[in-house]
Chain A
Amino acid sequence: MLIGNRSLVVACVILAAFIVLALIAQLSGANSQAMATGQRLQPPSFAHWFGSDRLGRDIFARVALGTSASLAVGAAVACAACLIGTILGLLAGYFRSLDKIVMRVMDGIMAVPAIMLAIATISVAGASITSVVLAIASHEVPRVARLIRSSVLSMREEPYVEAARLLHSSSYSIMLGHMLPGVLGSLAVLGTYVAANAMLLEATLSFLGCGLPPDVPTWGNIMADGRILFRLAPWIVLFPGIMLAIAVLAINLLGDGLRDRFDPGNERVV
């Protein structure tokens, strides 16, 4: 319990710092494209905390502005995947006739590598934040649906669910009233992992040049930008990489903390 609480606290502090950083960057009107050709490829200094790139743009300003894109993608993917996955999982777990169809489609999606699925979606829908979110979310939906389905399958057999059927409760009120509250705990935990994964995948896609448009500063785009100059100016790749690692770590810690909170198996037995 203590460890769970500690990782929850640490994770929340780090994530709050990221959100503050993103807000300040957006509100202060920092310009990610401000070029200063006299100050190209400067190493980190007081003037440029994270150094500057080949066009003299300040890496710190770009990384700070990229924070909001990364966080937004993570949060949006987690919400979208959890919402759709929960609906599909509830339906598949409760209505046995739907189960085979829904779960085979889910298996099909899971069989396609995430990157390939994302690249295909984005090249059809065009590079925008919406299409990136949709591309990544469509790969995460099956994971959520599987989890929810298995919880629903075991809850179906619980006497309190059978009692509700005998009390004339409709299938939908059983699903929403009895089953959904029962899966919220594990859903919150899985949601954090989905968000962390989405941020990594978004950075990968941007790095490969098929994520968000190159003029949007994201951690992945900045790293892609600095890739060819890595030996000359390693800070361009290093700092966004560190930020990404810290953010993903914090979200995973959040998930671990939530899991310790919700999982009865980890509770101390009195």
Chain B
Amino acid sequence: MIETSAQPVLQIDNLSVALPTVSDRRFAVESLSLALQPGEILCVVGESGSGKSAMLFAIMGLLASALRTVEGSIRFRGREILSLSSADMRALRGNQLSMIFQEPMTALNPTMKIGRQIEESLRIHTGMDRKQRRDRAMELMRVVNIPSPETLRERYPHQISGGQRQRVMIAMALALEPAVLLADEPTTALDVTTQAQILKQIKEIQRRSNTAVLLVTHDIGVVAEIADRVVVMQSGKIVEQGSTQAVLQTSQHPYTRSLLAAVPGIRHRRPRQPTAGAPEILKVADLSKSYPSSGFWLRGSLRAPAVNDVNLVVRQGETLSVVGESGSGKSTVARCVCGLLNVNRGTITIDGIKQDRKRRAGIQPVQLIFQDPNRSLDPRWTIGKSMIEGMCNIGKSKADAVERAGDLLEKVGLQRSALNRHPHEFSGGQRQRICIARAISMEPRLLIADEAVSALDVSVQAQVLSLLAELQKEMQLGLLFITHDLRTAVQISDNIAVMYRGNIVEYGPALDVYSNPQHAYSRQLFEASPGRRWLP
């Protein structure tokens, strides 16, 4: 337990950050006060738009020029940092305050070797010579468990894996032994097994060098895994703070409760009636797909996302989840099934009709919902135009199509007036509803959701999932759910297939796979999911 009497290493008092006047609220961060004690891990949790990142950037003095701090103070070891000159701030950043970003690929310089990037801050902030810098960089790489640092220091960022890149970012942040480590969603872009390792790493570093960590996340699982204390933010304000245990277990605040309730729990789902007698909507037999090897520099550094001898069955009204990490081939399976990719070998039978190997994309009974709702609607088209595109193509008159589009929008919980608006006027969750409505408009028998909720906030995720479940029940849809999130998969599926490097390593009823995983990889996957011990 952290002693509260200790001098906080970072103290924020009454901080407000104003938003530009056109925004929907006045402040990104409003009257925020918090204290970070030495050697403590404090998690700031909230949904997108809650102001948690704005707070982090205000501390680092990296706010976008349109945002400005209007009042309050941020003190680092008692010293006010909001009024520091940019030169003083630069000296403080890196030296005392370090930051880890969400997307390690864009945060690293793609034209610089790993070793040199780690050495860069040593070169700027210390008087070390070349040899000392090199030794320190090697030491740091060993601290963050980068395998064979001698080889990796000569690599470029694109030649190493996502997890390794995030480790490099952490090594860079630690180079000058900062007193405070700020982390902005450091594991959101990573696979779940990698996430578990990175979280362990952060915890270990905090323990070893008594670094205070301020970690921003939207994932309650991460909070449960790592935090000493939690701050819950909503619309720029702190709604609750306290020890992790108190907040997760006994919180009374409605917003915190709703965040917690939205996390997919594992035992909530009631088992459905076995659907053995229902007709098969999708049958995939011995599906294989490989990509031609591309670019000479990729060879050996990336594994080809291919699929080997995959067999799957989805029956009417049934949900099958294909679970795997990035590169496991799960999306390739989805794209082969809906005809966006040609298969190399094997057969795909949809609704009893065997599909040609070289068929045109677009088989009416199969529709796909994409991961990123921001990009799956043409930004220049109105919602109405996007909605009726498919219906007009299959022979509906324009008036009928518009009528039906309006009905469908109401069905997914939007207003008819949305027809005349553009995608950018809607939130991510609303856009995903629109995409679902558009897919339903084709009257599919099989709906494929390719990571359809992973880009959404947890509470929105829950809403979209229940919408899918409702539609499935009503239309007796087969649902093929592609995801990296085992918790969600267990919650919503009848069957689960676990994919690893292009192969299905485990396939069976959801609860069997969950309660008694047979394959070592599925066990590893279940164990890696954050906050497992806390989850109901």
Contacts and interface: CB of A to CB of B under 8 A. Distances in A.
Residue picked from A167, A168, A177, most chain B C-beta under 10 Å: A167
A268 B390 contact: no
B372 A268 contact: no
A31 B340 CA distance: 65
B22 interface: yes
B376 A166 contact: no
Given A169-B389, A182-B380, A163 B370 contact: yes
A159 B370 contact: yes
A162 B376 CA distance: 8
Interface in B166-208: none
Contact of B389 (A167, A182, A268, A270): A167
B128 interface: no
Contacts of A268: 66
B378 A166 contact: no
A181 interface: yes
B20 to A, nearest CB: 5
Interface residues of B, number: 32
Contact of A165 (B64, B361, B379): B361
Interface in A211-241: none
Contact of A162 (B340, B381, B390, B438): B340
Contacts of A166: 338-340, 361-362, 366-368, 390, 442
Contacts of A173: 393
A270 B20 CA distance: 7
Contact of B376 (A160, A168, A181): A160
B287 interface: no
A201 to B, nearest CB: 34
Interface string B452-464: 0000000000000
A169 B377 contact: no
A170 B360 CA distance: 10
Interface in B368-418: 368, 370-372, 375-381, 386, 389-390, 393-394
A163 B376 contact: yes
Contacts of A170: 393
B388 to A, nearest CB: 10
A48 interface: no
B376 A167 contact: no
Contact of B378 (A168, A178, A269, A270): A178
Contacts of B380: 181-182
A268 B368 CA distance: 35
A170 B485 CA distance: 35
B331 to A, nearest CB: 12
Given A166-B340, A167-B393, A169-B389, A270 B372 contact: no
B66 A160 contact: no
A268 B22 CA distance: 14
A165 B341 CA distance: 12
B390 A168 contact: yes
A152 to B, nearest CB: 14
A270 B64 CA distance: 8
Interface of B: 20, 22-23, 64, 66, 338-340, 361-362, 364, 366-368, 370-372, 375-381, 386, 389-390, 393-394, 435, 438, 442
Given A160-B377, A163-B435, A164-B378, 11 more contacts: A160-B379, A163-B370, A165-B362, A166-B361, A166-B362, A166-B390, A167-B442, A168-B442, A181-B380, A269-B64, A270-B22
